[in-house]
Amino acid sequence: MEPPSSRTRLVVAETNLRGVRGLTVDAFGCLLRGGPSILPNALRTIVGKQTEKLSVRSPEDLWRDSFRKYIRANPFLSFREVHRKSIQEFFKALGIATDVDGCIDATFDDYRNSTTYPEVSAVLGDLEKEVPVAVVSNMDTTALLRALQRNGLTFTFIITSDEEQRYKPDPSLFQRAVRYLGLPAANVLHVGSSYAEDIIGASLTGMPSLLMQRPGAPEEPRGEAKGTVQSLEQVRDFIRSSWSGS
């Protein structure tokens, strides 16, 4: 069975499909370097100048715990407000007084100026000839679009927490992506770099998933993922093998 055109929007009966016929991918950690899972440079610089105030916990762990706390807050907080509360809590824990708004602005500048991993542009070009692709991201829409455009990446479908008013792993983001692609969830592969956000969210939607574990990135549990990959090239190979292996 030949792979469907990336332009198709026809909803095909599930019984006629074999293997992966659509792809959703997280932006930061999969396509773009950096992202909110990593201690922002602005915070790292300030902490580096005040090492005597460090607690037993590492700044990286403190940041991740604070960020996860507020991204899961109910009611929903905007991406910028999540950063405000996370940064305030981060510096309060370390006993540091500084310009929070300046740190937020610097962090968002880093997001907008992120660069892609080396293989991304070429491999996406291959993938988009074979399967429709959508981005599903816990990111401010404007910052994400700026980063993608800066790197020459365009997508027909981009689903963000900013627009959905939900953060992954809420299944609504994945369900919207599945509707946009016009395919059964079981035939849409999701690739993301966070077990808690991507793998769980895809599983709740009935989508297969791969965990992107870039070299040097913090180790994540595999959980419900079909496996782990270190590059988009391995994602492409997995998709192609699903056709012949079905």
pLDDT of residue 50: 64
Instruction: Please give the pLDDT value at position 225.
Output: 79
Structure pTM?
0.89
> Residue 205: which H helix or E strand, with range?
helix 200-205
pLDDT of residue 236: 97
Residues of the chain with pLDDT under 70: 1-16, 49-56, 245-246
Distance CA 208, CA 191 (A): 9
Please give the pLDDT value at position 206.
97
**How far is it, in rounded angstroms, from Cα 160 to Cα 138?**
6
Q: CA-to-CA distance for 157 and 162, rounded, in angstroms? A: 14
Indicate if the alpha-carbon torsion angle 143, 146, 152, 156 is positive or negative.
positive
pLDDT at position 11: 46
pLDDT on residue 55 = 58
Sequence length of the chain is: 246
Neighbours of 225 (CB within 10 A): 24
Sign for the pseudo-dihedral over CA of 169, 114, 147, 7:
negative
Contact 171, 199 (CB under 8 A): no
